[in-house]
Structure 1
């Protein structure tokens, strides 16, 4: 085999760390401590003879959920300098320290960006690391405990900002679709409408999709909910498996109550040799592609996510492989619809013998905030090492199917001499225009009934008489309107629209 060029980027170490409230050895670790443990695991995983921590020149810290929006503050505090606080825990002092933007695609995209930097000679060793301690925060808060997780760490760092501008949907937020669950439910119901399926039948599809995921989670020591469940258990609505937003039962949405951390170390082949990292540990990055979708309310097809498909196709094309060549797959699975989008397009099935997750998926392994796909990449690296020559694909999703990044990995060498294996795809330009000003009628394209603590609200997206995209609330106090929405089949109906005192659009059947 031809000698691998010194500036070829390779993954030399991956690490995961987790803990569960109440289990033996539980320490109630902070975000920073969990991340430090994962990075220590990654350094140990490299089995280097030299000092990997000293060699780290770049460290990117993935934003924890509670640091991901301007209006959120970590309840127990956090480091003033998150990346250097993590670096300090392994005695590293990188030249470049980064606090990333928000988004579940970020870690996968950074693998591509850092690999490209290494190929260009701008870096030698880069780390991507993140953590969540939401389960501990909730458990301690419930007991009235408030530890101090704040710390002052010196040194400069790049704060890349929250990066949520493209995720803001003011009109939808104003009508009660204020979080990921109802926003994904709008897309999910649009797919259901396209298929012409009723609620119970479609929930069964979701159960059949996710039942194999639970089997993987049950065997994963880092899984937050390691319990194998049948499709029927996942699909059947019970008091414990209540509808959180139509059509989603609670068990089929991303589980954010986790204490999990993961880290990835990317180095140049030359440095890996200098550090004494055996080539048996090297995993090559064959392609990374990143794409940004239109805002949810702007998408011509509310059920579809063409940017994510384009990202996967671009990565496959650059790697010279097809989906059939992927022996290991992890499609981002915060909800069913991002997975359905992929398998619909590539002609896969829920019972694909390869499986569609490497971790167990976000509802069962756990939705470790913006950092979930770092866990998937860790698993992909370990699979590739154990099955030499096999290829693994990781698809990472951010926002409300707003951003997507895809990575392809193998122990087979990848030629980075042209430094063209990382690609950002152009943005779509076919946005549906939003209505400006009041309107009298709307034809429903999709909807959800969001069951929040403050009560149930029916949110819809549709078109006005001018064909512009509109959103509003169905009036559930109106009997005919309530029946149409609660029965799950308001698609295509025309609503008469009035505006309430808060400027919200209220729709009623004639």
Structure 2
């Protein structure tokens, strides 16, 4: 079967380094991405000069408007990587931030290739957060600044609807506390006790640590059992209930990954062996409602639909998948997508190919590029099999999914736009920025600060149906030991924001 315009993945590459270990070279993000790209070109057996399009996933320090690159950064990341490779692409793209970015780029540029608007596309990303943190205050720190010149399609930060200064003012300034709201709401929906849910998180992630322990690119290649993961200790301090440090995404990493896409026509032209070809059989890109617009804080219709629709486009069901990687920055995304696909959390196929973000590492926005590279390797080693990648960005806000196989597929467009319109058509009450009166708690968390202080945060709903966020330090005992979800409270607006009285 021959589809000349169908896009195929022909090369993947990963690199990493850890401070203090043999071979550590304090590589910049550009160096790490370029080295990963070299691995992808070696995998495909072609030269970098063939590339007409490059697209980069931004590092955290260049994807957040308030972040300052402590060791400097390239002002044109994609062109810097291309220059390292000796490539002169006609088009260079810097994607928006978010963990969905790698899979979204595969989906987008697969369609671009199918439409005849590109032939050879290199996608890449990297983080050197571990190196940056280590050298930031040292006299011998490297300078990662560079200006390669050239045109760049910079797509912006992509933070609309994800970061709210109103929420930040109420303590929701970090991702652990926001994802904790999702997990606690899910726990209440399932009528599980705190101890039962803590145990479930540990049991979910124990197999992930085993995968990470065997992965040479993992930042924390250590097996830990479920009890160790969830038992607070000096090394495993509480972060935001129900999370301890061991089960939140690990951003202190030095990792890079790349994926090389081209048309089947180009793959034949450049004599890429057909056993290297991997097809994107199914895909989807959807966005969730803003946090306080969600009808159920413990669910994600967009994440569920994105997973299900990718399989629908591929024409298979979850039972036919042999390999999966579900985005795992925290427990909630894994639980919710597994539920959507009808998977048990102890499915013998496993739910990660890398070890997951808390253990393999969370290289900024680029984690799923590593997942894609690993899934491509798995399906190549078992021709005819199918692999699934679920990528997630924001606060379970952006979802991109892909199904990979060596089975020949003509590129199939998804119905993501229509599904998105249906999701957006569901009515949502406006958030009450100033909240006063009777209310019900819908979810909560307690943030544990390094000095030992604790901060309670609640998402609730006023009697008139409007959602709100409030600080809840006055009811820490209830948030710590009782079941606050469903409790009636009184909320008051003050000069410092909303508080539970």
TM-score (norm 2): 0.96
The unaligned stretches of length 5 or more in structure 1 are: none
> Residue 286 of structure 1 contacts residue 421 of structure 1 at CA under 8 Å; is this kept in 2?
no
Kindly indicate whether the alpha-carbon contact (under 8 Å) linking 1:116 and 1:422 is maintained by their aligned counterparts in 2. no
**Which residue, out of 5, 14, 32, partners 1:7?**
5
Q: How does 1:9-408 map to 2 (within 5 A)?
A: 9-48=7-46, 51=47, 53-141=48-136, 143-408=138-403
Aligned CA distance change for structure 1 residues 166 and 498 (closer, same or farther; 3 Å): closer
**CA shift digits 1:464-509 (9 cap, x unpaired):** 1101101101134xxxx2211121521112222223332x11113x
Structure 2 residue matching 1:139: 3-state secondary structure: helix
Per the alignment, do residues 170 and 407 of structure 1 end up closer, same or farther by CA in structure 2, a change over 3 Å counting? same
Partner secondary structure for residue 136 of structure 2: helix
SS in structure 2 opposite 1:173? helix
C-alpha deviation, 1:142, in angstroms? 5.1
Residue 446 in 1 paired to residue 439 in 2?
no
Partner of 2:494: 500
Number of matched residues? 496
The CA deviation at 1:344 is 2.2
Structure 1 residues 488 and 187: alpha-carbon distance in aligned structure 2, compared to 1, 3 A threshold: farther
Asked whether 1:487 is paired with 2:484, we answer: no
Give the conservation status (yes or no) of the 8 Å contact 2:307–2:340. no
Gap regions ≥5 residues in structure 2: none
1:438 CA displacement: 3.8
Contact 2:100–2:365 under 8 Å retained in 1: yes
- Separation (CA, whole Å) in 2 of partners of 1:197 and 1:243: 20
Q: Is the 8 A contact 1:432 1:469 kept in 2?
A: yes
Q: d(CA) in 1 for partners of 2:248 and 2:184?
A: 14
Alignment partners' CA distance in 2, 1:160 and 1:120? 21
Deviations 1:164-189 (A, max 9, x none): 11212333211001011100000011
Aligned-residue RMSD, C-alpha: 1.4
SS at match of 1:89: helix
Question: What is the distance in 1 between the residues matched to 2:271 and 2:295?
Answer: 52
Helix, strand or coil at the partner of 2:420: coil
Structure 1 residues 119-164: Cα deviation after superposition (integer angstroms, max 9, x where no partner): 1111001111000000111111254543211012121111111111
TM-score, reference length from structure 1: 0.95
CA contact (8 A) 2:434 2:493 kept: no
Q: Give me the whole-angstrom Cα distance separating, in 2, the residues matched to 1:173 and 1:280.
A: 50
Establish whether residue 457 from structure 1 lines up as the match of residue 452 from structure 2. no
